[in-house]
Amino acid sequence: MVGASKTEPRATGITRVIQFVIKAATENWGTKITAFLLAVVVFIVTRDEVTRSFTIPLRVIEDPQRVRLTEPPTTVEVRLRGPWANVNRLSAEALGPATLDLREVKPGPMSLDPGSVVMPRGVVLDTLEYDPIDLRFEAVVERSFPIMAVVVGQVDADHQLVASRVEPDSWPLRGPASAVEEFERLHTEPIEIDGVRDDVDLRVELEPLPAGLEFVRSGDERPSVRFVAEVAPIADEIELLIETDAVLREALPSAGEIELPASERISVRGPKPALRELRALEAPVVPVVEVERPSARGGPLSITLRFDWSSEVPESTRAQLSIVPPLIRLRLSASGLEAPAEDR
């Protein structure tokens, strides 16, 4: 009995401990799970900082007053530092591009402002790495250049190109100083005038520019200019032999045996096309005789031999031509027919 009394209290204590552990492990499951999750969160949030590298694009803002002669890198490497939870969930797309504003930098080694990289909340920029490069620039200038019309072909053979012009006669260009200095003049697109007989008035675009230069005040399109060409017929002259004997004898029946001019040689002057029309006619010019009776009895007769257009010649053609001489003055006396020297 004495041995049994010593063993029972000890067994009871062990049993109570086992029962307590079982009870603690099996009761209040919701509270225990919540506590476990909170512990995990605290572990993640309070975990040591980590670093991670990303490759992001470099966005370049051009300087309108300068032209860059060197090419900046297209990407940069950024190393971010922060809690594991914040850094681990980032992506390069979430960071966006770094920015290089050429309006604010000086020539020389490129130095990228860390502030140009937008950082997400909860992380900081540890390092910023990129390929080293010297930034070099050239000033942008503007200058007006004369415009030359590029004329292709020849006008009609009976016509000539009297004058041509473009309006405006110059246009401003913009570009690097060296490219502007080397440039000489602007040209239009080719203008076809082959066989043209009339004046030309049209709009034509300017030819494309060399790389680096651009038109001022033209937007995205090439400017056009007005091209005006004055085309005129070529002046020429032909000779005609006009038969005059018959009309003189008809007008002067009293001339009798007096010798009268059988023909007269005249010239017709004017544009080649009109003269060509005239050559196609059989008798384009006809003589007309006018007789003025003398004021005194027995005095000489004053005779005007005029050269006029026949009915075959159109009015439009007559207006372009002239007859030289237009008339001849003669005098008929008893001694014969004569012409004043100043009229011949």
% of the chain exceeding 90 in pLDDT: 50
Can you give the pLDDT at residue 21?
53
pLDDT at residue number 90: 80
pLDDT, residue 27, reads 63
Residue 308 confidence (pLDDT): 96
Model confidence at 317: pLDDT above 60:
yes
Given this model, what pLDDT does residue 47 score?
56
Q: What secondary structure does DSSP assign to 65-132, as a single string?
A: TEEESSPPPSEEEEEEEEEHHHHHT--HHHH--EEEETTS--SEE----GGGSPPPTT-EEEEEE---
pLDDT in tens, 275-315: 999 999 999 999 999 998 777 776 788 889 999 999 999 99
pLDDT at 1: 41
Residue range 192-208, pLDDT digits in tens: 999 999 999 999 999 99
Three-class secondary structure of residue 169 per DSSP? coil
- Tens of pLDDT, residue by residue over 115-172, are 888 888 878 888 888 888 999 988 999 999 999 999 999 999 999 999 999 999 999 9
Per-residue pLDDT, 188: 97
- Tokens standing for 77? 């490497």
* Beta-carbon contacts of residue 172 (< 8 Å; ≥ 6 apart): 142, 143, 144, 145, 215, 216, 217
Distance between first and last Cα of the chain: 184
What average pLDDT does the chain have?
85
pLDDT at position 39 over 70: no
pLDDT per residue over 41-72, tens digit each? 655 555 567 888 888 899 999 888 888 888 89
Q: Sorting pLDDT into bands at 50, 70 and 90, what band is 3? A: very low
pLDDT digits (tens, 9 = 90+) for 238-265: 999 999 999 998 988 877 788 888 999 9
Question: pTM of the entire structure?
Answer: 0.60
